[in-house]
Structure 1
Amino acid sequence: MTNTPPNPTDLSLPRILCLHGGGVTAEIFQLQARSLIKALPTFRLIFADGPFYCPPGPGIVPVYEDYGPFRRWLRWLPEHADIDDEAAIEEVMYAIETCKRGDPGTGPWVGLMGFSQGAKLAASLLYDQQVREEKIGVAETAYKFAVLLAGRQPLMQLSEYSVGPATLGAGEISEGFRYEGPNEHVLRLPTIHVHGLNDAGLHLHRDLMRKYCHPDAVTLVEWDGTHRVPLKKTDVDKICTEIYRVAKEQGVRC
């Protein structure tokens, strides 16, 4: 896990949990997100490592080949080892909680930010919090929003409360899933969707936004890029403007 926010001496800043894509690491995601970190100085961005080892993801070698071993949160290829849903949830949640406990910060955990597979997981965590509050009146987290960088459908089932035909078990292969029927699993907590217009998976990112997120809670930022984390100041500033707007609307002091 990586705990090096841009202003590490201020432990009271509100915190955003950051979840990397498949086949990278927390450290690599922190490097990929360096422009976002710089543009969000009043948050502590804390980067968690996924629990499962795997080969490097697309485009990671040669730039980051010395940063392994590489990790993932979910299965997306048949060669990824079988795991049952319950064990997959336990491993993912243990990795997240270990990271959160390891951070010396004292500010509230107010948001999630994920790229690619990490965005799918971030949306799923936010939905699980929402549905727990709806069905049993309490959740262990209080995230106010999620920033979804190139996140694909569907939502993953992180508890019995999110099981249904439109969602997928945490131990199942997450790529290639398509569901066209009615969907009762809709995120009503705020989500900021960042879509690269030249990303080969753009249609899947739009599916996550349109089929799994309530339009009243959605903010869309499009940029002229491929499947990567934006770096240019003009792109990053648009994203961070929306993050600050949504955070303040949700009562976050930042």
Structure 2
Amino acid sequence: MSLPNAPTNDTTLNIPRLLCFHGGGTNSKIFKVQCRGLEKALRETFRFVYVEAPYISYPGPDVVQVYKHMAPFKGWLRWRDEDELRSSPEAVERINAAIKIAIDEDDKEGATGEFVGVLGFSQGAKLAASILYTQQQLREVMHERSGWPPFRFGILLAGRTPMVWLNADYDGPIGTVDAAAVSTAPTDHLPPMLDSQKLSVPTLHVHGMQDPGLPLHRKFLHNCCDSSSTTLLEWDGSHRIPFKHADVDQLVQEILKLARGT
């Protein structure tokens, strides 16, 4: 894709848009705060559109310490056995409705830029990748459209297996789970994804080297994504969004490189 020149005013209404998915146990407002450094650095290139998850959730790790005043906390997928039970069709419907609300609200604000990519953190990275994956399979195997914008790339920060199948009309490919599953459950029982069915949409994987979940993030990269379409960025951080200038700058350069290649 071609990237825009710097705008002559403060508006981002006509530049390409990224659909952004927060982690489990937070919400879109918290994610906007967490991404403030990244969004500021990319403000002349992308407009960030934050989606609010549809389900009330137990707060994520360390969320209450900083963001207690920003409740309620939300989630996309079940991540504890005691989380509210739901059917896969219902979960898919509510996720799609949340996406539509975010897009419609941004359109009403006057935004006209094309949605070109997805960005997600933790559970939101799993969801963002699963959207790309479901869209890819529907297009290439079922020869159908997904109903989402035709995303070209994904920015996945601390994503983990398994890939979630987000379509209620067809069974998911080998190695995926449905949207009603506990997203943090062990995946050893799942058969491996076929190489021919891995995610091949270009993705940037961002891994914090101090993140306790690093082995799971690496497993997601290698087991679910075609190596020819992935870029890995490792940084000296834990389970969070980079916010120091040097870390953000490195991430920005990789995002721009990814976008220009699509």
Please say whether Structure 1 and Structure 2 have the same fold, judged by a TM-score greater than 0.5. Answer: yes
* Residue correspondence of structure 1 range 69-218 to structure 2 within 5 A: 69-104=72-107, 105-139=111-145, 140=147, 141-159=149-167, 160-161=169-170, 163-179=172-188, 181-184=191-194, 185-218=197-230
Q: Normalization by structure 2: what TM-score?
A: 0.89
- On the 8 A contact 1:131/1:162 being kept in 2, the answer is no
Report the equivalent of 2:3. none
**4+ aligned runs moved over 3 Å, structure 1:** 179-182
Find the residue that maps to 1:64 and give its secondary structure. Answer: helix
- On the 8 A contact 1:120/1:152 being kept in 2, the answer is yes
For 1:137, the aligned partner's letter is H
- On the 8 A contact 2:174/2:192 being kept in 1, the answer is no
State which of 31, 34, 50 in structure 1 corresponds to 2:33. Answer: 31
Name the CA distance, whole Å, in 2 between partners of 1:153 and 1:223. 20
Q: Output one character per residue of 1:31-76: Cα deviation in whole Å (capped at 9) or x when no partner.
A: 0111110111210001110000022111111210000111000001
For 2:113, the aligned partner's letter is G
Residues 53 and 240 of structure 1, relative CA distance in 2, 3 Å threshold: same
For 1:199, the aligned partner's letter is D
Find the residue that maps to 2:126 and give its secondary structure. Answer: helix
For 1:35, the aligned partner's letter is G
- On the 8 A contact 1:14/1:107 being kept in 2, the answer is yes
Q: Output one character per residue of 1:90-146: Cα deviation in whole Å (capped at 9) or x when no partner.
A: 011111111111103101000000000000000000011111110233423210100
Name the CA distance, whole Å, in 2 between partners of 1:162 and 1:35. 40
- On the 8 A contact 1:128/1:161 being kept in 2, the answer is no
1:79 Cα offset (Å): 1.2
For 2:26, the aligned partner's letter is V
Name the CA distance, whole Å, in 1 between partners of 2:12 and 2:117. 18
Name the CA distance, whole Å, in 2 between partners of 1:165 and 1:220. 25
- On the 8 A contact 2:13/2:112 being kept in 1, the answer is yes
For 1:212, the aligned partner's letter is C
For 2:157, the aligned partner's letter is L
- On the 8 A contact 2:12/2:46 being kept in 1, the answer is no
1:164 Cα offset (Å): 3.4
For 2:185, the aligned partner's letter is G
Report the equivalent of 1:3. none
Residues 162 and 113 of structure 1, relative CA distance in 2, 3 Å threshold: farther
Report the equivalent of 1:46. 49
Find the residue that maps to 1:203 and give its secondary structure. Answer: helix
Find the residue that maps to 1:241 and give its secondary structure. Answer: helix
1:8 Cα offset (Å): 6.6
1:162 Cα offset (Å): 6.0
Report the equivalent of 1:20. 22
Percent identity reads 43
For 1:191, the aligned partner's letter is T
- On the 8 A contact 1:19/1:118 being kept in 2, the answer is yes
Q: Output one character per residue of 1:184-233: Cα deviation in whole Å (capped at 9) or x when no partner.
A: 24000001000001111101101110001001100000001111111011
Find the residue that maps to 1:63 and give its secondary structure. Answer: helix
1:161 Cα offset (Å): 4.8
Q: Normalization by structure 1: what TM-score?
A: 0.92
Residues 62 and 133 of structure 1, relative CA distance in 2, 3 Å threshold: same
For 1:37, the aligned partner's letter is E
- On the 8 A contact 1:131/1:161 being kept in 2, the answer is no
- On the 8 A contact 2:28/2:52 being kept in 1, the answer is yes
